[in-house]
Structure formats: structure tokens, C-alpha cells
Structure 1
Amino acid sequence: MTTTQSHMSKIQTAVLGVMKDIAAIGIGKTQRNTQQGYAFRGIEAAMNELSPLLVKHGITVTGSYSDLSISERFKGDPKDGRAMRFCTLKGAFTFAAEDGSHVVAECFGEAMDSGDKAVTKAQSIAFRTALFQQFVVPTMAMDPESYLDPDDEPREPTALEKAARDAAKSGTEAYRTFWQGISADERHALAHQHEEMKAAAKAADNAQAPA
């Protein structure tokens, strides 16, 4: 990670604003690699949560890539033509404020694919890494309730939280409609539970799907 430019005040203020907002929401590891069985935070989650915050704080992002390296390894008999393509590259992402001040985040991306998507995957990984590192994105929201004294009585969910859970139990579409229908203040109040609710709604979709 490198920084450039002498006039940094505007971009530093903007970056700090995004950091404060994303610290209250977090991005959980809600995606799962089905082959290796590990959970991860994908580029979709990063874009969905961070894009509105970048717009809110007036930050534009411009990416460029270099140091592209591609190699292929065959699976089984080379005559079968089943090759896995490995790609590494370096991404440089300029985060700029309206006055021209900016910071540059440099991150490497590495990916493999049996088709034609190795480069695209590597670019996405480099960009995702830059976003997470630049804005120090936590893997979960900073929920003050999680630091309550163990001897305290469990907190009863609010009416808003109950409504959110009821909507999530009905599936993704019902929860999306609920989320879009509440106010900005209500969304902020539920921000630390948003990823959990989305996961619950997806689980409800799977449970309702025909066998």
C-alpha cells in the first residue's frame, strides 16, 4: 500500500468517513468456496456495501493493472486439452477526492480458471483486497451489544428487529422489500444485523425451494 500527493487533507477526511461508516456495518464472510469449503468475502459484498459510501463521501476510484503473468498446467493427459490457467497481476487503485488529492493502493491478485476468466478473477481479487485494506473493513459490525456484561439480562429485541427477523423468515424478496421500505435511521439501527438477516433470508429461500 502506497500513498502519493502532498495535498492529502480532503482525501484523508473522506477515507476516514468511509472507515467510520463501514466499521459500523462490517462485511461478513457470507460466501463459501464449495470446492475447498472455506468462507470468504467476495467482490460483490465489497461493492454492495462500499459503493454507496464512496459516493456519499465523494471518492472516485480509478484502477490500472500491470505485471500480468499467465501460465497453464494441464490436467491428466495433455492430449485431452484440459488445462488450468494461472494468473497473477498487480493492481494500482487511485482513490481521489473532489479537490484532486488522492491515495494509491497497490495490491496483487492471483487466480486460476479452467476457462477464460483467470485474468478477470485476479483483477477482482486485487480490487477487493485494495478496498478491504484501504478502508480497514472489519469482518463483522462493531456491535456494542456484543460487549455487554455476561451477568446482564439478555436484551429483548426491538419491534424493528422483530419485524426484520419476520421478513427474513419469509425469504430474500420479503427482506429486500422490508429493507427498502424503512427509513435511513432504521437502516442504521439494523446495520450490525444486516448480513445476518440476509443470510437468514437466503436460508429461508433454500428451505422453501422445491426438492
Structure 2
Amino acid sequence: MASETDRAALAHEVCLALKRCCPGSRVELTGSLGSGTADAFSDIDIAWVVPDTRFPDCLDRAVAVLGGVRPVDSVRLDPDFYRSDRRRLLFVRFAGVPLFWRLDLDVRTASVADDPHYDAENPAARARDDEWSRPASALANAIGAVKAVARNRDDEARGLLDRGFARIGENDRASGAWGHDVARLAHAAALREPSLSDLAAQVTALAAHHVGSSAA
């Protein structure tokens, strides 16, 4: 079974690979892993600050570089920064690792490295509706809800599930029977995007294992 030591090793390998990809860039482990407050459900947050002139090239090479660390199952771009000229946020799932270990890779140019709000409210930076997957985003909410319940944060889980249902236009809400709630959201997402069926099944199994179907 994968351990937190395995997760730390994966994060370290990713950091090294990104540094090798772009000499002169800066790579930093952020989030709970960076602060030392991670638990068994924490994902991997990494900031990659690259020279402004290398930004397009680094984006083009990022997935191949990550694939050299471990096979990549899927990559999504945060729609808020999809068209940003100096920032991207990549959500990366590696094959063969727990779903909780998503890599959130925040790529920024050096000129905005110290501006956490760059393009956060810029409509021109956002993706068009046909440039991102609402069902995939809903499945990410479902995984987040499993984490929240496992951490005894039921209100957070309820909010994630309700937003996930709303994101795909599903007239449903969290009931507090968490395993069933997650399964319904996963099923609805897969119906809207059949290519996500395998991931939806994994999310349903994840919920059954970690939270069952008990009421809040």
C-alpha cells in the first residue's frame, strides 16, 4: 500500500524533474506538504516559477517532463487561468497512485511570482465553456468531499458535493449518506462524459472504502 513516504518521494522527484527541465527556474513545495501539516489525504502542491521568456516552452514540455517521473493518467487546466499570459494551474493525476495524491502545479513567470492574485479576477484569462470539462471538475469535487468527510469536515463535504451537482446541471444535493452521495455525483458526471467512466468508478470505490454510506 502506498505510504506518505511514497508521496514525499514522488513530490521530490517531480521537483527535481521540473528544475532539470528549466535551468534558472525555481521549484517550491507548497500547501500542507510544504508547511509540514500534511495528513494521509493531502495532495501535492508545487509552485514552479520560470523565466518569462521560457513560459510557453515550459508549458509545452511540462506533461512530458512529469510523464518521465511517472506515467500521467490525466491533466486538467484550471479554467480561471486557462488563457493567462503568465500563469497556469495544472491538475495532474499520475497512474498507479492514490487519487488523493493529485499534483496541483502552479506555473508562473518570474515577473508575477510574488503576486498571488495575478489574473484571478481577469475574465480574459478564463477558459471558454468548451475548453474545460465540467464533469471532470465535478469528479474532483467528489474526491475532495471524500477527503473532507475523512477529516470530519462534513459542512465542507456538503458544499463540495452540492457545487459538483450544480456544475453539471444535476438537480441533486448531498444527503449526508456520503458514499451514496459521491456515487450519485460520479455516476452523473460519467453519464455526461463517458470517457470519465473509469475514473468515476474509482471515485465511487474510494468513497465506499473511506466513508461508506453513513449519514452525517
Q: TM-score when scaled to structure 1?
A: 0.27
> Comparing both chains, which one has the higher relative contact order based on Cα–Cα distances under 8 Å and sequence gaps of 6 or more?
1
Structure (1 or 2) with the larger CA radius of gyration:
1
